[in-house]
A = this chain, B = another copy of it.
């Protein structure tokens, strides 16, 4: 059963499956699909061609097995979901966060309030992002990663969670993305290897390849990244 506010403005072309909840003053534009379990809170706006609450599916070529049940997919108050976004089931996005055009967020992520996940970013499953954090265009955030609050991850940054690069058939049981603490900034095109920890308020230079932990409040640069100086 659906619970849809009379004060929501929903285009007639929106596809709404069962068990969808839409709050007051929500706007849903044309050709959006809302899968079961989708919850859109007051004042959020969903732009054209977005797909929300999709369950992951496998043709037999993926390592993980998926649940075929829908969880709750929550879009917080006053969030903006831009055109062409795909959000998978079980992901929750807090208030006042923006998801840019054609980005994709996999299942069971938690994204904080006042974040920006920019255009064409991909976020993999089970990842947690704090508040006031920005992930810029065309970056990839891996699964099972932790990003703190007030972070800035620049464009085309790569992150990964499997040191075996898929060579270890058991790797799926111990994947660990990087851990990025609060107030960290990562420059454009940087590359952060699995399970690396980047300490609070550290800065990673553009194009750096970060192969080991970075202490708090240090600046690292280069391939591989080395400590250059303290944060001013």
Chain B residues near A120 (CB, 8 Å)? 102, 104, 120, 122, 138
Interface residues on A, range: 35 or more
Whether A80 and B58, one on each chain, are in contact in the complex, defined by CB atoms closer than 8 angstroms, is: yes
Chain B residues near A188 (CB, 8 Å)? 140, 158-160, 191, 193
Within 8 A of B (CB), among A32-86: 33, 45, 47-49, 51, 54, 57-62, 78-80, 82-84, 86
Whether A140 and B152, one on each chain, are in contact in the complex, defined by CB atoms closer than 8 angstroms, is: no
A162 to B68, CA, bound (A): 44
Interface string of A83-94 (1 = CB under 8 A from B): 110100000000
In the assembly, how many copies of this chain are there?
Answer: 3
Chain B nearest CB, measured from A141 CB (Å): 9
Determine whether A96 belongs to the interface, using a CB cutoff of 8 Å to chain B.
Answer: yes
Interface string of A142-182 (1 = CB under 8 A from B): 10000000001011101110000111000000000000000
Chain B residues near A166 (CB, 8 Å)? 134, 152, 185
Whether B82 and A86, one on each chain, are in contact in the complex, defined by CB atoms closer than 8 angstroms, is: yes
Determine whether A215 belongs to the interface, using a CB cutoff of 8 Å to chain B.
Answer: no
Find the residue from A86, A142, A187 having the highest chain B CB count within 10 A: A86
Determine whether A98 belongs to the interface, using a CB cutoff of 8 Å to chain B.
Answer: yes
Whether A47 and B51, one on each chain, are in contact in the complex, defined by CB atoms closer than 8 angstroms, is: yes
A193 to B187, CA, bound (A): 10
Offer 17 A-B interface pairs, CB within 8 angstroms, sorted by A: A45-B57, A51-B84, A62-B116, A82-B86, A86-B102, A120-B138, A122-B137, A122-B155, A138-B158, A140-B155, A140-B188, A156-B156, A156-B191, A158-B189, A165-B185, A165-B203, A207-B209
Pick the 6 closest A-B CB pairs, nearest first. Answer: A207-B209, A152-B166, A158-B188, A122-B137, A165-B185, A158-B189
Binding site for B on A (CB under 8 A): 13, 15, 29-31, 33, 45, 47-49, 51, 54, 57-62, 78-80, 82-84, 86, 95-98, 100-102, 104, 114-116, 118-120, 122, 124, 132, 134, 136-140, 142, 152, 154-156, 158-160, 165-167, 185-189, 191, 193, 203, 206-207, 209, 222-223
